[in-house]
Amino acid sequence: MSQDHSEKQSEQKEFHETRRGFLKQSTAMMALALTPPIVLKAAEKDEAIAALFEKVPVSMEINGKKQQLSVEPRTTLLDLLREQLALTGTKKGCDHGQCGACTVHINGMRVNSCLTLAVMQEGKKITTIEGLANGEELHPMQQAFIKHDGFQCGYCTPGQIMSAVACIREGHANSPEEIREFMSGNICRCGAYDNIVSAVLEVKQGGQKV
Amino acid sequence: MRQDKNVGKPLDRVDGRLKVTGGAKYFADNHMEDLQHACLVCSTIASGRIKSIDTKAALHAPGVLDVVSHLNTAPAPGYKQPDGKARRQLRIFADDRIYANGQPVAIVVANTMERAVYAASLVKIQYEQEVHHTDMRANDKAAYQTDRMKDYVRGTTDAWKTAPVQLEASYSTPIEVHNPMELAGIIAKWDGPDNLTIWSKTQGVKNSQVALREIFQIPDQNIVVHSPFVGGGFGMALRIWPHEIATIIAAKKVGKPVKLVISRDQMFTMVGHRPAADQKIGIGATQDGQLVGITHEAIASTSTYEDFTEAITSMSRFMYACPNVNTRYKIVPINVCTPIWMRGPGEATGAFALESAIDELSYKLGMDPLALRVKNYAATDPEKNLPFSSNYLREAYEMGAAKIGWNNRPANPRALKEGDWFVGYGVSTGVFGAHRGKASAGAIFKSDGSLVVQSATTDIGPGTATAMVQIAADATGISPNHIQFQLGESTFPDAPEQGGSATVSTVGSAVHDVCQELKTKLLELATTHIPDFKNSTPENSTFENGYLVTAGDAGKMEISLSDILQKSNTPVLQVTTTSKAGDERKKYSMYSFSVHFAKVHVHASTGIVRIKHVVSVADSGTIVNSKTAASQMIGGVVGGIGMALTEEAVLDHRYGRYANNNFGDYHVPVHADTPPTDILFINKKDPVINPMGSKGMGEIALIGFAAAVSNAVYNATGKRVRDLPITPDKLI
């Protein structure tokens, strides 16, 4: 088995070296076109500069604020929000789109931000939990979650709330059964489901614009 | 005496706003200058040793600072000391041994998370593989007992075999993984060689501090642990784990703060689990249902390097008034990470077997299972021979039965059908020790009338700060709006970890006591500095609505507490108190009790189980906050639904590797799996355990629940599922 393992590793290595080789080549080409020779020379030695060539410019609106960003193509929207923009309200629970903790709105639709790349968001409007309230005034869903105790540890809560708002907007919050079905992409390990259903139902029945 | 005003109320959580706005900072939400990111490299074999680690490609990858393993770092100082123990915690980076698949063996540090993850994929490890065992049942000959798990005998061994009505049955429960939504991890920062600060997912900041003191051989005061918000724990964060030590070592080596967040699949292999267990119950009764004897034997898994034991057989010893009981419990080493208590811990495992067996016996007797339980109700603890401090089980049975509509339950299985669905009802009992440990709390009262109470406990979700504010409000007469409770910092007065359903009892008592101390000091200030109040005494004075009220000769006088400080030139009044249990435990047996009722539908042709309605009743003494307490009970029920119907960590024994190490394949209950749940509280003060009269609740919320479901499934279908989880394949 260890032999299999090392074979696999060497395949992997080959692939990775190819990736690096490709990046070096394309970096060199871009560099030739755009960069003065002195920087080009430094780039060979300095990873920090080389890193810039691995990044792609992208602009998007996050919580109402236009952002010009430079991201690696492999960076997810979730990691961009959390690690680079310090919008840590959006949580990482699985990184596989299986738990919903990272749910945000992209152009008003609920999306697992761990399954979407940051570079794909050119021109999009992103709303995170930090952008849901109207200043100090909480969104009705946030108020309802507090009132009905729709959480315990609070970790899945930002995703639950973003998902719940979209659930109403989609027209999928007409009964407890329907809410349970259409909120099933958001796991709550503390098991606050009953209270979350009450919160969503109250906001839906209150008829406020969400 | 003023009536209690806040304890019992459904106060909104004091940290609710932070939690719904994304403002609550969990460990991984902290940013700091020069923060580096780490990713673990984990073993791909289950037993053996590391032959070599090739880090060349990883070190060459962009942004990588270091790849740390046992090959390039000295073991933590505490790991170097010979401790004479054959079995002990995994000592990461101390040697080349592999005990489990997915064991962390190296840590890559880079300047971004993506770079660390990528570089970790480049680390090449050669192993020398040895035979592994991950199948507990196949390895049961290796079962052993430790000093902490002696056989228990009351009366005659195996007396059930002499009873007119007998039942013998075996039950199994698989490995379950806690899987809190928050991934485990740590940020480690060294300031100089001997000062360590961590932000970590832990249920006990003091626990972590003590563990780090031992491992890194630096004094307590040089170790600061922050854990103000914890994204769920369920037991997995009750100890320091190797990934934390690895990160701390790496942070020291690179000379910069380092953050590690482990991945969901790593949550299966390095932060514990509920061990697998096989249990056998023999139970016998007279024709009219009087229990004659119970024999309860269990084996459960542990790791190959450390003993893990829990109270799997304990409930059988005292739950029922049975003259003859014997229990035996052994553990079996397998090549996985060491288990750790998972909500309800061993009691939940044991209750599934005992409460299923009671149900099975009831059908043999032709008796209602509820009536059988009531008939064998233990009015005093038959194991300890002590009275219970409080026990309202019979009331709980009655309340729950009325709510679920127990008289609709068919006496015989497979007798009730709605469309294509068989309908069944089940009941079970849960019990867990009501504990009170030692804790300290500090109170800081300022002349603006605000009170801050601090204690180094944590809150993994039950709403600890909210409950503590309510306790402090009633103890001081200060409005909850003017009280803040702070937790999750190792610099606060000592408190144990949040576990074992003991936080309200333990820390709540310290909060209560420090508030009494605060009132004593305020009274002293008033009598010394304010002439009108020179004759105030605890007997003629009360604290109400932020005022000291003294019934003097000239009638009632009052002064606001902030005025006492101002008039005595005291800007801040600060007191700290340590509080612990007395010798009550020598006189009383203390337990919390729960009764779970479930109504299920089982599809006649597909075997799908739908839980339609749950009623759970808790006898846990005084309810401090009726809203958060109900949430905690509902949460336990949801955990119990997972245990009953969906959760099983499947090991592929060929590789000793988990085959379903993600949320897509390891099924925790989702919204659609959970029914409307009614929570009922006895809410009667325990007269003994602590000043509030509150027993614990976190564990009893789950303990026994799985049996209520399996008993209901039998009532619906006539099929007895003794191996959890109850998946459709077991019913068709």
Nearest to A98 among B44, B461, B662 (CB): B662
The per-residue pLDDT for A34 is 53
Inter-residue contact A173 to A204 (CB < 8 Å): yes
In a domain, A15, yes or no: yes
- How wide is the angle at C-alpha A164 spanned by C-alphas A160 and A169, nearest 5°? 155
The per-residue pLDDT for A54 is 82
| Rounded (10°) angle between helices A37-45 and A2-34 | 160
Mean pLDDT (chain A) is 85
Mean pLDDT of B249-276: 98
For residues A123 and A146, membership in a common domain is answered with no
Tokens of B527: 């009598």
In a domain, A9, yes or no: yes
Sign of the four-CA dihedral B510, B511, B513, B518: positive
Q: Does domain B32-132+182-231+237-268 have CATH number 3.90.1170.50?
A: yes
Query: Tens digit of pLDDT for each residue in B439-472?
Result: 999 999 999 999 999 999 999 999 999 999 999 9
Query: Tens digit of pLDDT for each residue in B194-223?
Result: 999 999 999 999 999 999 999 999 999 999
For residues A146 and A125, membership in a common domain is answered with no
A50 and chain B: CB distance < 8 Å anywhere?
Answer: yes
For residues A15 and A61, membership in a common domain is answered with no
Residue ranges, CATH 3.30.365.10, chain B: 16-23+437-580, 277-435+586-730
For residues A122 and A165, membership in a common domain is answered with no
The per-residue pLDDT for B389 is 98
- For chain A, strand residue ranges (E) read 56-62, 65-71, 103-106, 109-112, 125-127
For residues A44 and A18, membership in a common domain is answered with yes
CB under 8 Å to A28, separation ≥6 — which residues? A40
In a domain, A85, yes or no: yes
Chain B residues with beta carbon closer than 8 angstroms to that of A88: 22, 25-26, 28-29, 31
Summary count for chain A: helices (H), strands (E): 8, 5
Query: Tens digit of pLDDT for each residue in B379-419?
Result: 999 999 999 999 999 999 999 999 999 999 999 999 999 99
Q: How far is residue B4's CA from residue A165's CA, in Å, rounded to a whole number?
A: 39
A87 and chain B: CB distance < 8 Å anywhere?
Answer: yes
Catalytic status, residue B699: yes
- CB neighbourhood size of B727 (10 A): 16
Q: Domain B16-23+437-580: give its CATH code.
A: 3.30.365.10
Half-sphere exposure of B417 (CA within 13 A, CB side): 10
Nearest to A156 among B23, B128, B181 (CB): B181
Query: Tens digit of pLDDT for each residue in B505-550?
Result: 999 999 999 999 999 999 999 999 999 999 999 999 999 999 999 9
Query: Tens digit of pLDDT for each residue in B552-581?
Result: 887 899 999 999 999 999 999 999 999 999
For chain A, the domain total comes to 3
Cross-chain Cβ contact B663/A94 below 8 Å = yes
Residues of chain A with pLDDT below 70 are 1-52
Q: What is the pTM of this model?
A: 0.94
Nearest to A190 among B118, B461, B670 (CB): B461
Query: Tens digit of pLDDT for each residue in B364-374?
Result: 999 999 999 99
Mean pLDDT of B636-663: 98
Inter-residue contact B270 to B103 (CB < 8 Å): yes
The per-residue pLDDT for A15 is 43
Question: How far is the alpha carbon of A123 from chain B, nearest alpha carbon, in Å?
Answer: 24
pLDDT at B243 over 90: yes
A128 and chain B: CB distance < 8 Å anywhere?
Answer: yes
In a domain, A7, yes or no: yes
CATH code, A200: 1.10.150.120
Write out the residue range of the structural domain in which residue A126 sits.
Answer: 56-97+112-130
| Rounded (10°) angle between helices B626-641 and B705-717 | 50
In a domain, A107, yes or no: no
- Chain A nearest-CA residue for B178: A189
Question: How far is the alpha carbon of B424 from chain A, nearest alpha carbon, in Å?
Answer: 21
Nearest to B664 by CA among A96, A186, A100: A96
Inter-residue contact B350 to B313 (CB < 8 Å): yes
In a domain, A79, yes or no: yes
Fold for domain B277-435+586-730? Aldehyde Oxidoreductase; domain 4 (3.30.365)
Query: Tens digit of pLDDT for each residue in B226-237?
Result: 999 999 999 999
The conformational region for residue B545 under phi > 0 = left, psi -120 to 50 = alpha, else beta, is left
Mean pLDDT of B291-311: 97
